Structure 1
């Protein structure tokens, strides 16, 4: 039976240094994917992921067992994303220009998974992923953060509420508002793509 996160924390505090390595191995990919979706930059996401673990290592003796280790770790990562955004003087943390580049900047596991599908299906999937990323990037940060934590990281509403120090009702409201806004953005993007495709077809016929 695998030890729980809290069990590994307890062992680390008792002097077992390898327990923290196990925590890193368990949470490195989820944390990297979370940070990447927040900031949209692959290399920076790797650096912020490592910095988050470094801060966790230094602060672990002050970790309160009342909270889940994963929630505590995500909180550190969120603070790192905010600091990264402030240093670059961006109104929003995520970068539309980087997100729009598509699979080149996607986590490696997502790119490898996409490469196994047929060419046409793969292209359609890439287009959908880019549209979703662009829509996510256009949301207010509070809505984007809740959507990432709930839909991608699969945290429970109660966990997100404790993490962000908000009532569950507020978290649900942000999630609903964000998903509605994303649907509207995606619908608008689909209409624009349709118009562009028709224009290209008409231009080809004239030639």
Structure 2
């Protein structure tokens, strides 16, 4: 559907603009960044098209509020536009833009934590030691698979919301965004050992939270 819409949008553009957008679409992120820095007015729009939905999914899953997530994604692009000239092009653009979005999301959660009315609710139910936690390697319970099942999507998102902030960020980046450990370390500013430790705890916590919801 997204591809069809993109092709339809291209069809109604003037020929020159359509060809230019197609050209931008074939460029790497680094090339598009350079084109924008060189004064190509349409190049930044290409970056927005590439990352808008991806960032919204990431921020929404981190803070649990889609409307506020859209605001933060917009702010992310504003900051990227203002500071694009400072971007180190020896690095991955995706890591840089995710870092900005991640920092905004974490700031949002910190601001919320000052107000008890918007604190995330923690589960009160004790985990029965006789019940085994979910096996993460079982594809039945991987977040990507759960999200494909509409009736479980809300439960997965609810469980993710209840992870502590520093666990939730690495969990979303790894299990939902597919980032490597190295990319997560760059985005969060943590070393690899900390990333792996937080991810392991996040997985265990997620398993404990989601289990009663899908019994």
Shared topology, TM-score over 0.5?
Answer: yes
Asked whether 1:71 is paired with 2:95, we answer: yes
State whether residues 52 and 73 of structure 1, in contact with CA within 8 Å, keep that contact through their aligned partners in structure 2. yes
Deviation at 1:36, TM superposition (A): 0.7
The runs of 5 or more residues in structure 1 that have no matched partner are 98-123, 192-207
Structure 2-normalised TM-score? 0.68
Asked whether 1:57 is paired with 2:81, we answer: yes
Q: Which residue of 1 aligns with 2:175?
A: 151
Q: Which residue of 2 aligns with 1:136?
A: 160
The runs of 5 or more residues in structure 2 that have no matched partner are 1-24, 122-147
**How far apart in 1 are the matches of 2:114 and 2:64?**
13
**How far apart in 1 are the matches of 2:114 and 2:185?**
26
Give the aligned CA root-mean-square deviation in angstroms.
Answer: 2.4
* SS of residue matched to 2:81: helix
After superposition, residues 80-95 of structure 1 pair within 5 angstroms as 80-90=104-114
Equivalent residue for 1:20, pick from 44, 53, 60: 44
- Provide closer, same or farther for how the CA distance between residues 91 and 155 of structure 1 changes in structure 2, counting only shifts above 3 A: farther
Structure 1-normalised TM-score? 0.71
- Provide closer, same or farther for how the CA distance between residues 185 and 74 of structure 1 changes in structure 2, counting only shifts above 3 A: same
Q: How many residues align?
A: 164
- Provide closer, same or farther for how the CA distance between residues 91 and 71 of structure 1 changes in structure 2, counting only shifts above 3 A: farther
Deviation at 1:165, TM superposition (A): 2.1
**How far apart in 2 are the matches of 1:31 and 1:143?**
18
**How far apart in 2 are the matches of 1:25 and 1:179?**
31
**How far apart in 1 are the matches of 2:175 and 2:196?**
12
Cα distance per residue 1:142-179 (max 9 Å; x no partner): 11111111111111111111222222232122112111
